[in-house]
Amino acid sequence: MLDARLNFFKNSDFAILFTSFLFVRLIFAYYLPLGVDEAYQITVGRQLDWSYYDHPPLSFWAPSIFAIIFGSESPLIYRLPAIIFGSITVYALYGIGMLIKGKDAAFLSAFLYSVSPFFLFSGGVFVVPDGPLNAAICMTLFLFIKSRSSEKNYNIQLFLIGLCLAVSFLSKYQAVLVPLALLFYFLVSKKRVYWILYSRIWIIALVGVLGFLPTLIWNYSEGWPSLTFHTARANVEFSLINFLKMFFGQIIYLSPPTVFLSIWAVFCVHRDEKINFLFYPALFIIISFNIVYIMGAEGFPHWTMPGWMLSLPLVGVFISQKSGPLRRK
């Protein structure tokens, strides 16, 4: 049963935040015309397949399945899965904040996500892979952190974490950066032997890999077109201009105050084990793609967004850590 602290109906501030932005996303979904990327995903996704040329299949499957279920092809119905995924992400970020620091940190992380332009639209309205990716990553880490405080039904908890990881692999290729970052943390941690040999973490890995199988099967049968497409973007020519352009895009997508707070929090927050489960994936994703940008690769600013998303609970924790001594004075 879900911890009572994580029931947002018992926290009126979060309930208002959650329902208000849910209503805003529904309004945008109803009135905004479909974009080019959305029309592409909807059109291609009408033919259900194991995977697709540029992305894994989930964001192609979801709108088509909902259109069939509801018998409608309105933009709102096509966007309904994105709205659901966006709502899951907000709740998961709130849950992460509650588990790490408490109500104030939880509310701030959910608020910053909700008001950031990229996460409001591409993470919760538009028919693109970012919505399911964000939801799956946040639920993976939320359940993982939650499992650290409870041994009850531990194997079931690990299975659910693996299931969320599988959903992330079904959403977008960059999902692989999260387990890689955690693997790095486990290897440098003093508990590395426990994590690798005794923690039963292999349950997560085995279930998670199942989410990558449809994409793997499709690419193998088609001659690896996705690999060809994405590696063609690679470049090894240093380009400060490209980096500055991409970084400016990240600032616009998140908003300048959120970027400033996130950078400050990542480097100054007092870390413990729970915080490290966010710190390493956040930093790994942000640094990895900004290295890609500075090497001049053809890319987009939103590639780093999952990393910035995972920094938002750190902002809530950091501000709570800073405000605590002030309240005691």
For residues 234 and 297, is the Cβ–Cβ distance under 8 A? yes
Residue 174 has pLDDT above 80, yes or no: yes
Q: Output the six-digit token pair for 295.
A: 């090497």
Count of C-beta atoms within a 10 Å radius of residue 258: 21
What pLDDT score does 328 carry? 43
| CA 280/CA 182 separation, integer angstroms | 7
Residue 5 has pLDDT above 60, yes or no: no
What pLDDT score does 6 carry? 53
Range 69-92 average pLDDT: 95
| CA 97/CA 84 separation, integer angstroms | 20
| CA 131/CA 168 separation, integer angstroms | 10
Which residue would you say has higher pLDDT here, 264 or 227?
Answer: 264
Range 167-195 average pLDDT: 88
For residues 285 and 236, is the Cβ–Cβ distance under 8 A? no
pLDDT digits (tens, 9 = 90+) for 135-170: 999 999 999 999 877 667 778 888 999 999 999 999
pLDDT digits (tens, 9 = 90+) for 103-124: 889 999 999 999 999 999 999 9
For residues 95 and 3, is the Cβ–Cβ distance under 8 A? no
What pLDDT score does 324 carry? 59
Of the listed ranges 141-150, 178-187, 234-243, the least confidently predicted one is 234-243
pLDDT-based confidence at 271, cuts 50/70/90?
confident
- Measured between alpha carbons, how far is residue 323 from residues 206, 263, 326 in Å? 42, 18, 5
What pLDDT score does 117 carry? 94
Contacts of 245 (CB under 8 A, 6+ apart): none
What pLDDT score does 259 carry? 94
| CA 218/CA 16 separation, integer angstroms | 43
For the chain, what is the mean pLDDT? 89
Give the largest Cα separation in the chain, rounded: 66
Residue 127 has pLDDT above 70, yes or no: yes
Residue 198 has pLDDT above 70, yes or no: no
pLDDT digits (tens, 9 = 90+) for 34-63: 999 999 999 999 998 999 998 999 999 999
Residue 261 has pLDDT above 90, yes or no: yes
pLDDT-based confidence at 74, cuts 50/70/90?
very high
User: For 71-198, where are the alpha helices, taking DSSP H only?
Assistant: 75-100, 103-115, 117-121, 130-147, 154-169, 177-188, 192-193
Residue 2 has pLDDT above 60, yes or no: no
Residue 325 has pLDDT above 60, yes or no: no
Range 173-201 average pLDDT: 84
- 278 burial level (CB within 10 Å; 0-12, 13-18, 19+): buried
Range 211-235 average pLDDT: 87
pLDDT-based confidence at 270, cuts 50/70/90?
confident
